[in-house]
Amino acid sequence: QVQLVESGGGLVQPGGSLRLSCAASGSFVSINTMGWYRRAPGAQRDLVATITSGSSTNYANSVKGRFTISRDIAKNTVYLHMNNLQPDDPAVYYCNEDITDGSGWSSTYWGQGTPVTVSS
């Protein structure tokens, strides 16, 4: 069983920073693409950022220059460094990882979600 555990969410003032982390545990061969998505109240879940096994990154236009996605291969962990948080950033953030098991099959896993609130 593969499980993704998120941490780092919380309440922050406008312009503040948070770092989200998502650690994978269980039995698997490799983690392929890692990503972060977010869902605001009453809205759909949208892509925030992704990072491939080759360290190529992709960001939503709304977070470019403010958010940074990174990974620690040894810890099976993906991070989202969020700087200069704005009023339209509050949402539940979900990590996503494409993982290959021992048989060569690849599956997508989601974290439980961690809320981010921006308020003064």
pLDDT at residue 104, rounded to an integer: 87
How buried is 72 (Cβ within 10 angstroms: 0-12 exposed, 13-18 middle, 19+ buried)? exposed
pLDDT digits (tens, 9 = 90+) for 51-94: 998 899 999 999 999 999 999 989 999 999 999 999 989 999 99
Question: pLDDT digits over 31-45, tens only?
Answer: 999 999 999 989 999
> Which structure tokens are listed for 94?
């979900």
- Residue 69 bridge partners (DSSP): 80
The Cα–Cα gap between 90 and 94 comes to: 12
